Amino acid sequence: EAVERGGYRHFMLKEIHEQPAAVAETLEGRHTDAGVLDAALGPGAAGLLDAAQRLQIVACGTSYHAGLIARYWAEEYAGLPCEVEVASEFRYRSHAVAPGTLLLVISQSGETADVLAALREARRLGYAGVLAICNVPESSLVREADLTLLTRAGPEIGVASTKAFTTQLTALLLIVAAFARRRGRPQGEAELVRSAVALPGAIERVLDLEEPVARIAEQFVDRAHALFLGRGSHFPVALEGALKLKEISYIHAEGYPAGELKHGPLALVDSTMPVVAVAPHGALLEKLQSNLQEVRARGGQLFVFADDAAALRSADGFQVVPVPAAPAPISPIVHTLPLQLLAYHVAVLRGTDVDKPRNLAKSVTVE
Ligand code: G6P
């Protein structure tokens, strides 16, 4: 096993560091400078994508978070209406299916029981077709879907998903770009493809943050709770950061849209609860900053992951970790990396079984 870990202490750390290569591999041969090749999705892709008028994304866990980010992309860059739901809810409720709705299923393993059941339910309900994003070519999901875009992350051993997540998002960028072209948004398509091409390098640069993030991790070791905040497409990044931390360090963590702070979580903020904020530059930065002031005024300790362009400075109780700036579409991906590293280093310091956290399975194949 030590050989397979390739010199890394845990599979999770190895898989975090494999992300630039895994993302590059997932992009390889699937686009030109101008756009995405329909052939990347398999035979019959063009017809099914042409017919799709809206997307329903279904997934579980980390894959669900990838879907949440994709919704922002679909609506912003392709003007494509998009809904996202966890599979365990989707499969057991009544649906009013709008004509031309394509089901997009995201699953690393392709064997998650609720995801497969949701797919079968969607067939019964008359969805226009099923497109899968999956990491395992011989999985049940790939067999049952009409179209598949395989992530090429390679085997993911750590139970907490890292490279599967970022390669799913890479695949989603390509799919949304294909819709942008169809929906008369060539500039949206070009921006998505350009950003996707910049992704391996951007991820490589953000991995340099490991040292400072590991130092911050020391301040989480004795904590019982943590709050993660984000806005817009970085809200799901906050959810994913909280999920990673709880999965492997067993610290209770919640992800929240920063604008909801006053509607509940602010009551919990005091000097014992670290608050992590994902604060890229952009239209929502000013609003996020005012949310952060609320935390600070209550003695909350803030850890702010902010790209250079956000120009935030550290102060007492307000620690800024500068994240290299990246094009807007890939900023949620780039901001995920330091949160993966944070969860990893906190878990190591707490001495948990990082690759096999208690009570969790890599793939939930029973309901
Ligand atoms: C489990 C794993 C998670 C994963 C989720 C969905 O909970 O521990 O890492 O995100 O299942 O798995 P899937 O294979 O469908 O992406």
Which of 11, 86, 88, 108 maximizes ligand 1 atoms within 8 Å of its Cβ, making it the mutation to test the pocket? 108
Nearest CA to 346 out of 166, 222, 207 is that of: 222
User: 241 CA distance to ligand 1 centroid (A)?
Assistant: 15
241 φ, ψ (degrees, to nearest 5): -60, -40
Residues of the chain with pLDDT under 50: none
Catalytic annotation present for 362 = yes
Q: For ligand 1, atom 15, name the residue with the nearest CA.
A: 107
Q: Which protein residues touch ligand 1 with a CB less than 6 Å away?
A: 60-63, 107-109, 112, 115, 159-161, 360, 362-364
Task: Tell me which of 60, 88, 115 to substitute to probe ligand 1's pocket, judged by most ligand atoms within 8 Å of the beta carbon.
Answer: 60
The phi and psi torsions of 269 (rounded to 5 degrees) equal: -75, 120
User: Hey, what are 128's tokens?
Assistant: 């226009």
pTM: 0.97
Residue 360: predicted pLDDT: 94
So what's the pLDDT on residue 286?
Answer: 82
Give the C-alpha separation, 253 to 165, whole Å: 19
Cα–Cα distance measured from residue 328 to residue 231, given in angstroms and rounded to the nearest whole number: 13
pLDDT number for residue 29: 95
Residue nearest to atom 7 of ligand 1 (CA): 61
pLDDT tens digits for range 180-196: 999 999 999 999 999 99
Query: How many whole angstroms from its chain centre is CA 8?
Result: 23
Show the DSSP H helices in the chain as ranges.
11-17, 19-27, 45-51, 61-77, 87-90, 113-125, 140-144, 163-182, 186-206, 210-217, 235-249, 285-297, 331-350
Distance 247 CA to ligand 1 centre (A): 11
- Of all protein residues, the one whose alpha carbon is nearest to atom 3 of ligand 1 is 61
Tens digits of per-residue pLDDT, 299-331?
889 999 998 777 788 888 889 999 999 999 999
pLDDT recorded at residue 312: 81
Q: Can you tell me which residue has the tokens 């756009």? A: 35
User: What ipTM does this complex have?
Assistant: 0.98
What is the atom index within ligand 1 of the atom nearest the CA of 361?
A: 8
Task: Output the CA torsion 192→308→218→211 (10° steps).
Answer: 80
Per the structure block, which two tokens stand in for 174? 């390509």
CA torsion sign, 219 to 220 to 223 to 228? positive
Neighbours of 54 (CB within 10 A): 16
Nearest atom of ligand 1 to the alpha carbon of 247: 8
Q: Which of 242, 289, 280, 275 lies closest to 72 in space, CA to CA?
A: 280
Per-residue model confidence (pLDDT) at position 200:
98
Expressed in angstroms and rounded, the spacing between residue 146 Cα and the centre of ligand 1 is: 22
